[in-house]
Amino acid sequence: MTRILPFLFCLALLSSCGTTRSGKVIDQGEASWYGPGFHGNQTANGEIYDQNKLTAAHRTLPFNTVVRVVNLNNGKRVDVRINDRGPYARGRIIDLSRAAADKIDMINSGVAPVRLILVSSEDPIRTRGPGNINREEFTIQLASFNSRSDAEAYSNQIRNSRVVNARVDNRTVYRVYFGRYRSTDAAQRDLNRLKRRGHEGYVRQIQN
């Protein structure tokens, strides 16, 4: 028994390495916000962006992760759900909806220094560290269908494409993806080739 307990303790430590738990600080940097120009457009997870809801865009956090955003200028905070990708401006770590930005009083300033604290996530969140570095990865989304058979029929026309299930507004959709890339430039080159063959699509980031 004395030998088993240390082993189990070490195993527990190993299994938790690199995984951020609720209440832990995820990141710190600048937040920005986006509103009227994007209101009603589709977000990266397929929802319709509503600037009046408490949502946000993040480059790597899994969709539906909830984070607490603390404005370091005034101490105000707001909980937001991740449903979009971005921001891609240097130094920015999160892009808030207009409603979320209003909650922490950063509408007028446009940007603010913030701290991100994990509230909840459906998936483990990997932290940066030796041997465990989050690398941004991209793919090409070609189409989205309500029927798996329709998605597979379309995918069969494009070699090396794949069908992936997703939940959008409490319903299942079937998306057709092509390729995995370490940069948007590489993905865009393949997308241009696909467009010349008559296929439409766009480059999107793969959620971690």
CA distances from 98 to 44, 51, 82, 95, 105 (A): 17, 5, 14, 9, 10
Q: What is the mean pLDDT of residues 35-49?
A: 88
**Is the confidence at residue 19, as pLDDT, over 60?**
no
**Is the confidence at residue 129, as pLDDT, over 90?**
no
What's the pLDDT score for residue 57?
93
Over residues 59-92, the pLDDT tens digits come to 888 889 999 999 999 999 999 999 998 887 777 8
Paired tokens of 83: 């449903």
| C-alpha closest to that of 57 among 67, 180, 151, 102 | 67
CATH classification code of 23-123: 2.40.40.10
Q: What is the share, in percent, of the chain residues with pLDDT greater than 70?
A: 82
What is the rounded average pLDDT for all residues in the chain?
82
Q: What is the mean pLDDT of residues 24-46?
A: 89
Which has more pLDDT, 137 or 119? 119
Whether 191 and 204 have beta carbons less than 8 Å apart is answered as no
CA distances from 127 to 18, 123, 159, 198 (A): 5, 13, 34, 40
Task: Centre a 10 Å sphere on the Cβ of residue 184 and count the other Cβ atoms it contains.
Answer: 15
**Is the confidence at residue 16, as pLDDT, over 80?**
no
Over residues 151-189, the pLDDT tens digits come to 999 999 998 889 988 877 778 899 999 988 877 888 888
**Is the confidence at residue 206, as pLDDT, over 60?**
yes
**Is the confidence at residue 55, as pLDDT, over 60?**
yes
Measured distance CA(53)–CA(144) in Å, rounded = 24
Measured distance CA(60)–CA(69) in Å, rounded = 16
Beta bridge partners of 174: 145, 165
Q: Where are the domains of the chain?
A: 23-123, 138-205
Whether 173 and 146 have beta carbons less than 8 Å apart is answered as yes
Whether 57 and 81 have beta carbons less than 8 Å apart is answered as no
When pLDDT is cut at 50, 70 and 90, the band that residue 132 belongs to is: very low
Over residues 95-120, the pLDDT tens digits come to 999 999 999 999 999 999 999 999 99
Which CATH class for the 138-205 domain? alpha beta
pTM of the predicted protein model: 0.56
